[in-house]
Structure 1
Amino acid sequence: MRSFRLKHWRRRGSYYALDPSFLDVADAEQSGALPSPLSQQAVTEPVCNSSLTYSMDTDDSSFGKTLLLLWLSYGLAKKEGRAFFIDDSQWVYGRYTSYFAPPPSQGCSPPPPHQVLPCPHQAKHLVVSADTASWTFGLSFHEEFVQQRRYGTEKYQHIYDLARAGYEDLFKLIGEDAVYAQSRIAGMKEDAASHGGSVVGMQIRRGDQHPLEYQFSRDYLPLERYATGARSLFRTLLNRGEPAHANGDLADFSAVLEYIHSPLLLASDDPDVFALPELSQAAAPFTVQKAQERIQLATKAALDRSSPVAPIREPGSAYVKHVDENSGWEGGFYGALFRSLGNPKATSGSSTLERLSSLSDPGTGNDGRASEQAMRVRELVGRAYLLDLAVLGESDGIVCAVSSAACRVLGVMLGWQAVVDNRWMNVDDSRPWSWNGAR
């Protein structure tokens, strides 16, 4: 069982300041200030002395933001000596264990729900969710953990270390997805080694997420910017001798010719990006390939090619009856589109975001819970996202935009040294890594 190191708190700043007027629920029940509940949950192990529970949100459809908060919460719990638990009962993507191995055993039981509080931070049993994140990871958290005397990314190292601890202990894919990811990673590294090169990945977010850079805040960053960054990373890795060029011999023309066949991987929420000439031309002489091909999101054009829908025309009439159209993954990830998955009302007729947004309770049944069909489709989307991350996270370098949560997640997966060495390259407003994308 873990112990809660309150003595350590009294020497810290405002984040760890104690409120003498606060009486914890468990202490209040023990002292008789509050009556004990009539029904107690059956436990096989003693209740933890202190804990932090991360509640996976029912409203936030961003898998990347969920991962960042999950890892931060875990790292914070581990640093403070708290047991850590996950509540996935209301998660829009389903069950945590549909994607990952269960979290490490804590050696004690979760506290009763009525003892779990979102604040103050000195509470024995805390809960963190997307809605309460600003209380746990707000201004006082930054004042405690950001090293203001350091510059750029280095001032966020303490926060980075918390997230990295969560990644290392929790990001463990399961089943066939894990086998596929391992095989794909081994294959791309072998491919890179055979050409004396490195692996560089690009992650391009579109959809409802726009760049932080003011010039493109209502649009998207030019694809050329990603491709130029990738070519720059390849040159940097070659000059550093990673992994095969000990002297960075750019004069060896044959070696350079081999090097340009190194894997350049791409993951994007917009399937159309892969086929755009703008990207392939800007990335030349490198050839862009998909990070993974196990689960692919299809556009309407792709669905029309594989399963065309023929219009129905009345005999002798110029009038064409309305028929349902294929509805694909258009333009990237949109929260409204995601929440409509599995809803027949959202997949018939014209697939516009306005119509999806107007659905009062998209993808849910009469009881307000997502239907089984909706959850199966959402799970596929989540698995595709995680496979992209798993493969790109093993690259030698990453190019992405920090406005995207996936970009910040990949910074954690790549490792601190890679971030410091600029092998994690942000092409959005030149900002350093931070868990929320802010300066």
Structure 2
Amino acid sequence: MLTRRTPTVSTFSQAVAAASSSARDKGSLHVPYIDTPLPSPSLPSILPRHGKKTAPRWRRRRLRMLFWMVGGLCLFLLSRSISKNAEPHSDSDYLLSPLEEDGDFEIVGTNVLPEQPVALMVTDAYGKKRWTVSIPPVKEFPLAPSEYETICRQCDEISSLIANDGNNKYYSQPGQMDFYRKDLYYMDITDAQDEGLLPGSTAESNEQPHYQKTADTKLPGTRSTETDAKADTEKQICENSLTYVLQSSDAGFGKTLMGLWMSYGLAKEEGRSFFIDDSDWEYGQYSTYFQPPPKPNCLPPPATLRVPCPHDAKHLVVSAVTTPWIFGDSFTAHFTDARATAGINRQRRIFSFLRAGFEALFRLSDEDNDYLGIRLEDLKNSIDRGGLLIGIHVRHGDLHPIEPRYQDAYIPLQKYASAAANILESTFSPTPSDGGSSFNKRSASRIILASDDPDVYGAMEFQNAQKAQSRISLASKSTIDAAMVAQQSLSKSVQKNLGWEGGFFKNLFLSLGAPAARPIIDSPRPSKSQTRDVDSGIDSYHPSADSLVSPAEGLRLRELVGRAYLLDLAVLGHSDRLICGISSVTCRLLAVMMGWSNSLEQGAWHNIDGPFEWFSLSL
């Protein structure tokens, strides 16, 4: 109940005087002050109430407070976005760098970009943790194999760290092995540049793959570099791409081809533009061996945008060292047909990737391709009476069989010869009614042989076999010594001849042309433990420095080794039947060259290294 005090005479006069004085001061209308008592609260008002009810004061205060909070938050986000765009990496809270130490990584804060390529943890405009990859503009393309491997390992670590953060709700553990699972916390480099988290590209890329620069000057019939440059100025940078970098720690040409063909097939599957880089290849220039590959109708991206991991990056780099991340278990699981009943049919799609790469890229340089055509024509004419062309590939050197009883040695040559005899016997079994035609066809058949060990060609088991090709022959040290003795020119040069002893050994091959390295055949053969130390990445064999080979001469010898290998491969790929050991990458490549139907479905491809089916990459 409200009460109000009734005014006395003294208070009434004071109130009237104050009201009059206030009115005069304001120049307003004079209104007499009438102090009347309030109506009794117990009686209802006789006047009706009009209009809306006034909101309580506490509700107006809350609305006002909410308005100021929203406005302040908008101003804060706007100022933060402006500061990021104006000065990247000025706040150490949103940039974290994983650093490698004793094989592990440590997450540390920093306010500047590292000078080395690295995977980074960043904070986007919404305050969420993301990660990306930083490739400093000063780094030349391609990076070293060790740098590519480190980046991929860092990507695994930082992706797992963010995914396992309790504040992140979008990580799907069941889809971890899916090849096309998107990492929702990965930010592509172009997106990171747009948000100011990484410095933008200073200029669009006009660089061309190294094989194209050399191809213009070496291959006949190509356009001039001026014409190419004019045409390229009208092109845009590719939307997404895959660049295969020709570099291999084991120096094997077979593994390089396997990765190259598989990468091309994957690029076509995913709609990526495909490029090849040969600027850091042990064998020299791509154009020495092959004709230029199909050229995309766009420009390759800048080096700062090309990363080895993750797979869903817009511009991907693949090399021998990154194949476990790109063509690992998730790739095999995704592209293996689990519905196929027969075991080999499960890998048909992976086989098709390799076949696409073979058909597009295996085109020998003009000089070697001309010889190949002549050689194949000669072989065809020699078996024109219906005989078979049986190819045999023997791998020695630093590779040993999968079959346990031969793991410390090599598959006996007699096993190859017996397999060839069995094929001829089963194919041309004489019958009383054939009139001797089976015998004639068997006599018309030819066995062609290729091996990385020159001594294999002189073995008794292959006395009736022909070399697959004789354009480039790798002679053994003993063969050269015998020839020089027969010519009565035995001298110190016999001790330093450039023969090829025992097969292909990585360390001996890499020593060609290296400083303080002597000729390959004048060096002791590395042991199995030395040559198979692939995981450590350290060469345990170091040749002495008696007789030096110049870098130019060493590169020329490497080119001869590579060209001889490719010619052997090309001739054997046209065999009617093929015998080889599956432990060799070359053996598996030959199945691809023969085709799925011929080699695997019809059984023209024969593996004698244990009861194993064809497989692709061996990681």
Superposition TM-score, scaled by structure 1 size: 0.84
CA distance in 1 between counterparts of 2:588 and 2:553 reads 31
Structure 1 residue 272 corresponds to structure 2 residue 455:
yes
Asked if the contact 1:202–1:265 (Cα under 8 Å) also holds between the matched residues in 2, the reply is yes
Counterpart in the other structure of 2:607: 426
Q: Which secondary structure does the structure 2 equivalent of 1:378 belong to?
A: helix
Once the two structures are superposed, residues 391-432 of structure 1 have per-residue CA deviations (whole angstroms, 9 ceiling, x without a partner) of 110111111001001101101000001122110111111211
Counterpart in the other structure of 1:347: 519
Q: CA RMSD in A?
A: 2.8
Once the two structures are superposed, residues 21-64 of structure 1 have per-residue CA deviations (whole angstroms, 9 ceiling, x without a partner) of 11111222234332213354336221111111111115231100
For residue 344 of structure 2, the aligned residue among 153, 156, 172 is 153
Displacement after TM superposition at 1:345 (Å): 3.8
CA distance in 2 between counterparts of 1:295 and 1:401 reads 23
For residue 560 of structure 2, the aligned residue among 377, 380, 386 is 380
Asked if the contact 1:72–1:162 (Cα under 8 Å) also holds between the matched residues in 2, the reply is yes
Counterpart in the other structure of 2:541: 357
CA distance in 2 between counterparts of 1:379 and 1:211 reads 27
Displacement after TM superposition at 1:199 (Å): 1.0
Counterpart in the other structure of 2:574: 394
Q: Which secondary structure does the structure 1 equivalent of 2:368 belong to?
A: helix
Counterpart in the other structure of 1:202: 392
Structure 1: runs of 5+ lacking an equivalent:
1-10, 240-247, 281-286, 313-321
Amino acid at match of 1:182: G
CA distance in 2 between counterparts of 1:425 and 1:218 reads 22
Q: Tell me: CA distance 1:110–1:124, structure 2 relative to 1, closer, same or farther (3 Å).
A: same
Counterpart in the other structure of 1:326: 497
Displacement after TM superposition at 1:232 (Å): 2.9
Once the two structures are superposed, residues 147-195 of structure 1 have per-residue CA deviations (whole angstroms, 9 ceiling, x without a partner) of 23433321110100000000000000012210011111121122212x2
Counterpart in the other structure of 2:200: 36
Q: Tell me: CA distance 1:251–1:276, structure 2 relative to 1, closer, same or farther (3 Å).
A: farther
CA distance in 2 between counterparts of 1:362 and 1:414 reads 45
Amino acid at match of 1:162: F
Counterpart in the other structure of 1:284: none
Displacement after TM superposition at 1:311 (Å): 5.5
Structure 1 residue 310 corresponds to structure 2 residue 310:
no
Asked if the contact 1:206–1:220 (Cα under 8 Å) also holds between the matched residues in 2, the reply is yes
Asked if the contact 1:324–1:349 (Cα under 8 Å) also holds between the matched residues in 2, the reply is no
CA distance in 1 between counterparts of 2:293 and 2:495 reads 44
Q: Which moved more, 1:74-83 or 1:341-350?
A: 341-350
Counterpart in the other structure of 2:358: 167
CA distance in 1 between counterparts of 2:547 and 2:315 reads 34
Structure 2: runs of 5+ lacking an equivalent:
1-174, 207-231, 528-539
Displacement after TM superposition at 1:350 (Å): 4.3
Q: Tell me: CA distance 1:196–1:348, structure 2 relative to 1, closer, same or farther (3 Å).
A: closer
Structure 1 residue 252 corresponds to structure 2 residue 434:
yes
Counterpart in the other structure of 1:98: 288
For residue 189 of structure 2, the aligned residue among 6, 9, 25 is 25
Displacement after TM superposition at 1:117 (Å): 1.2
Larger Rg computed on CA atoms: 2
Structure 1 residue 261 corresponds to structure 2 residue 444:
yes
Structure 1 residue 288 corresponds to structure 2 residue 465:
yes
Q: Tell me: CA distance 1:422–1:373, structure 2 relative to 1, closer, same or farther (3 Å).
A: same
Q: Which moved more, 1:105-114 or 1:303-312?
A: 303-312
Q: Tell me: CA distance 1:183–1:340, structure 2 relative to 1, closer, same or farther (3 Å).
A: same
Counterpart in the other structure of 1:414: 594
Q: Tell me: CA distance 1:163–1:306, structure 2 relative to 1, closer, same or farther (3 Å).
A: same
CA distance in 2 between counterparts of 1:12 and 1:254 reads 63
Counterpart in the other structure of 1:8: none
Counterpart in the other structure of 1:316: none
Q: Tell me: CA distance 1:299–1:180, structure 2 relative to 1, closer, same or farther (3 Å).
A: same
Asked if the contact 2:454–2:503 (Cα under 8 Å) also holds between the matched residues in 1, the reply is yes
CA distance in 2 between counterparts of 1:349 and 1:100 reads 28
Asked if the contact 1:118–1:126 (Cα under 8 Å) also holds between the matched residues in 2, the reply is yes
Q: Tell me: CA distance 1:266–1:46, structure 2 relative to 1, closer, same or farther (3 Å).
A: same
Amino acid at match of 2:455: D
Residue identity over aligned pairs, in percent, reads: 42
Asked if the contact 1:72–1:163 (Cα under 8 Å) also holds between the matched residues in 2, the reply is yes
Q: Which moved more, 1:40-49 or 1:133-142?
A: 40-49
